[in-house]
Structure 1
Amino acid sequence: MNSKHFHSDPTHLITGALNSLSRLNPSVAVDEKYKIVFVKETQHPQVSVISGGGSGHEPAFASFVGHGMLSGAIAGSIFASPSTQQIQKCLLQCVDTTKGIMVIIMNYTGDVMHFGMAVEKARARGIKVDMLVVGDDVGVGRARAGKLGRRGIAGTVLVQKITCAAAMLGSSLNEVSKVASLVSDNLVSVGASLAHVHVPGRSLITDFNESDSVEVGMGIHNEEGFKRIETDLVGLVKEMLAQLLDLSDTDRGFVDIKSSDSVILLVNNLGGVSALEFGCIVEEVCSQLNSGYSLQLVRILAGTYMSSLNGLGFSISILKIVETGLESGESMVQLLDTSTQATGWLNAFQPGPMSTTVESRLASPAENIEETLPPSRLSLDSNQAVKLLKSGLSRLISAEAEITKYDTMVGDGDCGLCLKNGAEAVLAELEGKEWTDAVQLVGRIAQVVETNMDGTSGAIYAIFFNALAYGLSSQDTSSPTIVTAEMWAKALEHALQSLSKYTPAKPGDRTLIDSLSPFVATITETKDFSQATEAAKKGCESTKGMEASFGRSVYIGGDDWKKCPDPGAYGMVEFLLGMSASF
């Protein structure tokens, strides 16, 4: 739970956020006193659709105000319903009432009472108003929900978008109301979260996530869910989809969705899941729906539609597509696809078949990027070479946790994993193959590193191994020759010189060069691998307390750099020590 905020005055937060909308969308206006966002002028007479609720669920609902979507939205305090007076102000003075008003809200007691009171007052003044209370959450079943019914969560935005499109067509209030109810009746949603959220300006609450459990069915205001489980993403999505689609669970089986049915899928970010992780969540949901339920995904919506401030969770909503019954004939999908100028709406996409292949023009043999280097006459003992490399790579892989710890202290924490990924890929390439050509072996290692090792470390090692291959090939002889220590030393010296063309790092700059340079210098002088490894180890030790001149360490404060070696230099030494142990 993140309890730090740039601004902790909740009142100012809300008015500031609402006022920003009129800057982003010149077609909407803001009544700051009553916290109402509304469309300035309608393009043609239509049923006005309004919504609202507590703040903290952005972009819902204020950012959904605009031509093609909501006519107005009323914001309450964070996680609290707006007042009857606020709502009445919107109904009577902010939206067009000539064709009537459709009110769509979520099923929370405060919202139902305040909106309901305002609706009744508007009706008493002769305004035609219908109200729909959406309860799409299956996280809390029938038995526990009792007379209150299901809570409203992110699926509500599908009801609003489709209903607003029907209103924009010029449909009557009766037709608009029926469409809204039809969508709501065929909609199920469930959420999950790793932690509670902290409301700005309020005291901290005790978090439930001490054991890395996930709250399944957690509400959008920190309300308790169905249960807490410890599982991975695959297991979590499986649990959530079962709650949505398993009709054998009579407590939660609300909508009969069969494998042949066409559906609209909404995967909603509660506000605190990174785009990278959220993309993986979306893929897992789609994959399980296709493999486990064979549903026909007609449209997929993914993104932040209804947040819980910066909630570390997501929700899944599934809408069964049924006939709308509109005289104009538009389907639910057509209504969903109708364009809108609302700034917060993310368009739906028609899913296509998943492709794992990349189409490209055929490369000529000279362009083949995976082509093995031409054979040389420089040979080596394959068994011995593979043994040495495996020993070094295995030690490097084992050191990943320590390298990551050091890089977390002084960098961005990715060095250990980058080195591990590269080492594992090289190990896999060595397995079960004969490598008698020294140039081809080093060249192939360079290609594997290029493909599998990210970050600066990957680039440095790829350049070094490519240059090492060239350094060897330049010593090729007219007759078959076993590579000597002198040849290796000369090639290593060439590789280090080539590397200096692409990085100005020198010994003393706190980089892997602090290990690599003394290794190359010593092996060039002594032709002894053990002595060279010891020199690299001393170079690595010298980086403790050395101020960085390159990499992200330059920008990081604190004094952890005084306590640990450079992660890249340390990783190189671990690799060399592993090789040295097998000589």
Structure 2
Amino acid sequence: MSAKHFINDATHLVNSALQALTITNPSVALDVENKIIYRRPGHAPQVSIISGGGSGHEPSFGAFVGAGLLSAGVAGTIFASPSAEQIRKAIMSRVDLEKGILVTVMNYTGDILSFGMGVEKAKASGLKVEMLVVGDDVGVGRKRSGKVGRRGIAGTVLVHKISGALAARGASLEDVYKVAKLTADNIASIGASLDHVHVPGRAAPDPNSNEGLASEEVEVGMGIHNEPGSGREVVNLPGLVTKMLKQLLDQKDEDRAYLNVNSNEVVLLINNLGGVSELEMGGITAEVVGQLEKDYNIKPVRILAGTYMTSLNGLGFSISILNVVNTNIGGPSMIQLLDDPCEAAGWTAPIRKETWEAKSTQTREDSVAVAEDTKASGLKLDPETTKTALTAGLQRVIAAEPDVTRYDTVVGDGDCGIGLKRGAEAILKMLSESKLSGDAVIDVSKVVQVVENTMDGTSGALYAIFLNSLAHSLREQSSAGEATPKVWGAALKQASESLSRYTPAQPGDRTLVDALHPFVETLTSTGNLKQAAEASRKGAEGTKGMQASLGRTVYIGGSGFEQVPDPGAWGLSEFFLGIAGLKTSEPGYEVV
């Protein structure tokens, strides 16, 4: 792999590339601070479509912002998801809100959690928002991908184009989401590359390491974040294409038969991962189209070949197949929507001369278009009792930090305890500086703001999503008048169900859900806080010896999980024990 770049400062590279999009397409603007490319105001109201992810996938996503495609694209640093705050700003202040918003995200944990938190925040503010997760990659089969599911790769751009065209025609949010999901469900993709890439600003690879591929090797199933594929092989182009098409289309492959092509209309997308010459892309396209007709009797009605979603300058390509099905909305077909004109620098349609001549200078400068002040719900709680219980729970979390850190050092990266302690200390500070209002929704929302500003990482995103949803669920229970244990139980259950939309974690996966689920279920069924807290601790204890299905522990391996409980579950159970006023503390686990 080459470690030579014209721009080696990754931050400057991303910022300047985003700025360039406003130069090549005068219909878009840039929120520099939040790295958001968005359509300038002045066009007819329509469903707004937002996507995004790490930088390094250009022209996705910023260069797909424009009439007939995306309304906004949110950029993270190279190969890292944007923050929830960036996404919240994009949803709430950089696009039209009148007809609703569709947020489309590729199936990567960081993207789902960050975008999910932004979506839940927007919903809690009363906005109409739908979120669609696209997973089209078949490079990693069902057995290996497990609960995480298929990664999102280049096929996602077909979802963007078709849903963007439908939104531009004035369709409702319900129909736009329906057709977008239908498109996503009928796409399969796979990539391959001759080498990994070097990220600007990082140390050059050791030439003696096994980091790169041998000169005769190709990596099949290569993703878009420089991650390894499903295997390395020595194969020529015809043999490689044969293998890739088989993984896409072989119905006998139970591990990968995601797509059943049962339509007379198929769309083929051949995507350059960034470093393949146009000449060679032509040869690849000819080989793919020839084998599709010869071996599968498939003659695509539309063939798109070019650069749509890259992995920096990846020396590879991907193949995506869309099985065109009836949209059943009484309007345009998928093909008609794909053919509709659009005005985005990254798509093949050129910018219209009318847009150049308009020389629009309009921008969106408001920090947030939707008021952030939480409206009273009328659902009452006792401020002093609540403060006392919260304080006891938070102090117990802080006291448990050494144990949680020790457990996480064995099975994770050692930051879980510090993250929980940081959040607990910040909430305690808030409680000491301002009085609770006595309105359940307002007071939970205050806690949410603290969590969002002080807790980072996966656990911070999970807690923020859960608490935002809890505030929304409590508001829906406001007719009860008082936040009784029954009301809290129902709201917590609804918030747990919302959280499950953003993480596949279930009891038994060795996550904080193993402590959360029994607490919620017991509180819902009994209304007894102490019994619920005891059930939570029992659930956390049960994670000792439980092999992880999700999270960093999956990649670390080893036998550490046999020695200690899940750190996140243990920390959460400590909080529940504290708010329930239970003083007993079981001995910690020894780390061998």
Same fold flag (TM > 0.5): yes
Q: Which residue of 1 aligns with 2:255?
A: 251
Q: Which residue of 2 aligns with 1:440?
A: none
Q: Which residue of 1 aligns with 2:318?
A: 315
Shift of 1:42: 4.8
Q: Does 1:242 align with 2:254?
A: no
Q: Does 1:99 align with 2:99?
A: yes
Q: 2:338 aligns with which of 315, 336, 339?
A: 336
Q: Which residue of 1 aligns with 2:273?
A: 270
Q: Which residue of 2 aligns with 1:202?
A: 202
* Residue pair 1:42, 1:67 contacting (<8 A) in 2 also: no
Q: Which residue of 2 aligns with 1:220?
A: 224
Q: Under a length normalisation based on structure 2, what TM-score does the superposition of the two structures give? A: 0.58
> Larger RCO: Structure 1 or Structure 2 (Cα < 8 Å, ≥ 6 residues apart)?
2
Q: Which residue of 1 aligns with 2:6?
A: 6
Quick one: percent identity of the two aligned structures? 59
Shift of 1:347: 5.3
* Residue pair 2:342, 2:349 contacting (<8 A) in 1 also: no
* Residue pair 1:337, 1:347 contacting (<8 A) in 2 also: no
Q: Does 1:305 align with 2:292?
A: no
Q: Deviations over 1:370-396 (max 9, x none)?
A: xxxxxxxxxxxxxxxxxxxxxxxxxxx
SS of residue in 1 equivalent to 2:77: strand
SS of residue in 1 equivalent to 2:68: coil
Q: Deviations over 1:235-285 (max 9, x none)?
A: 000000000000100000001114x63200000000000111111001100
Aligned residues: 346
Q: Deviations over 1:190-244 (max 9, x none)?
A: 0000000000001234433125211100111111211111110000000000000
Distance in 1, matches of 2:259 and 2:238, equals 23
SS of residue in 2 equivalent to 1:297: coil
Q: Under a length normalisation based on structure 1, what TM-score does the superposition of the two structures give? A: 0.59
SS of residue in 2 equivalent to 1:272: coil
Q: Deviations over 1:532-565 (max 9, x none)?
A: xxxxxxxxxxxxxxxxxxxxxxxxxxxxxxxxxx
| One-letter code aligned to 2:218 | V
* Residue pair 1:55, 1:75 contacting (<8 A) in 2 also: yes
SS of residue in 2 equivalent to 1:300: strand
Distance in 2, matches of 1:102 and 1:2, equals 38
| One-letter code aligned to 1:200 | P
Q: Deviations over 1:560-581 (max 9, x none)?
A: xxxxxxxxxxxxxxxxxxxxxx
Shift of 1:304: 0.3
Distance in 2, matches of 1:42 and 1:102, equals 20
| One-letter code aligned to 2:20 | S
Distance in 2, matches of 1:104 and 1:112, equals 10
| Equivalent runs, 1:393-412 vs 2, <5 Å | none
Question: Aligned Cα RMSD in Å?
Answer: 1.2
Distance in 2, matches of 1:325 and 1:125, equals 32
Q: Which residue of 2 aligns with 1:396?
A: none
| Equivalent runs, 1:543-562 vs 2, <5 Å | none
| One-letter code aligned to 1:278 | M
Distance in 2, matches of 1:222 and 1:31, equals 28
* Residue pair 1:139, 1:191 contacting (<8 A) in 2 also: yes
Distance in 2, matches of 1:149 and 1:219, equals 14
| One-letter code aligned to 2:295 | G
SS of residue in 1 equivalent to 2:132: strand
* Residue pair 1:265, 1:300 contacting (<8 A) in 2 also: yes
* Residue pair 1:194, 1:313 contacting (<8 A) in 2 also: yes
Distance in 2, matches of 1:15 and 1:267, equals 28
Distance in 2, matches of 1:335 and 1:246, equals 28
| One-letter code aligned to 1:128 | K
| One-letter code aligned to 1:227 | G
| One-letter code aligned to 2:254 | T
Distance in 1, matches of 2:280 and 2:42, equals 40
| One-letter code aligned to 2:195 | A
Q: Which residue of 2 aligns with 1:143?
A: 143
Distance in 2, matches of 1:278 and 1:254, equals 26
Q: Which residue of 2 aligns with 1:27?
A: 27
SS of residue in 2 equivalent to 1:209: coil
Distance in 2, matches of 1:34 and 1:61, equals 14
